[in-house]
Amino acid sequence: MNIEISQVITHIIGFLITVWLLKRFAWKPLLSMMEERQQKIKDEFQRIEDEKVRAAQFKAEYEEKLKNIETERRQKIIEAVNEANKVASEIKAGAQEEAHALVTRTAEQLERDVSKAKVQLKEDMINITLAAAEKILREKLDEKKERQLIDQFIGNIEKA
């Protein structure tokens, strides 16, 4: 193998010129493009991490809201039960008042009816007594006839 120094030097000079040209015209744009790509990737990873943090915050807020909703639900159920108990108590008290008023009215009506019946009975007794006395006075009868009339009169009273 025959190595020629002029060829080697030409190759070295050509290589150095190519490296210098690449460095001068291609290396900087290539490096800047690679740096931009690297920055984009870093930014994307940072954005993903930020989104993960936000998602974790949203999840925590959501879970807190769920707990609050459960607490509110229980509270509303308790309020509804209390309100139902209150309404039931009011209805019960109203029914008791109505029952008491009805008993009072019925007792008063009964007293009036008893008073009317007493008055009517008194009037009937007076009429009966007067009728009996009138019959006895019209017929001056003997004691046997009077007893028979009185027995008849009592029998009529019992039938009525």
pLDDT of 19 reads 87
pLDDT of 78 reads 92
Q: Is the pTM of this model over 0.85?
A: no
* Residues 59-87, mean pLDDT to the nearest whole number: 90
Distances (CA, A) of 13 to 8, 9, 10, 25: 8, 6, 5, 18
Please report how the helices 143-159 and 28-138 are oriented relative to each other, as an axis angle in degrees rounded to 10. 170
The stretches of the chain forming alpha helices (DSSP H) are 5-21, 28-138, 143-159
Over residues 85-134, the pLDDT tens digits come to 999 899 999 989 998 999 999 999 999 988 888 888 878 887 887 777 77
* Residues 60-86, mean pLDDT to the nearest whole number: 89
- Residue that wins the pLDDT comparison between 88 and 147: 88
Phi, psi of 73 (to 5 degrees): -60, -45
- Looking only at Cα atoms, what is the longest distance across the chain? 193
Mean pLDDT, the chain, as a whole number? 85
Burial class of residue 149 (count of CB atoms within 10 Å of its CB; 0-12, 13-18, 19+) = middle
pLDDT of 37 reads 94
Over residues 45-66, the pLDDT tens digits come to 999 999 999 999 999 999 888 8
pLDDT of 51 reads 94
pLDDT of 158 reads 66
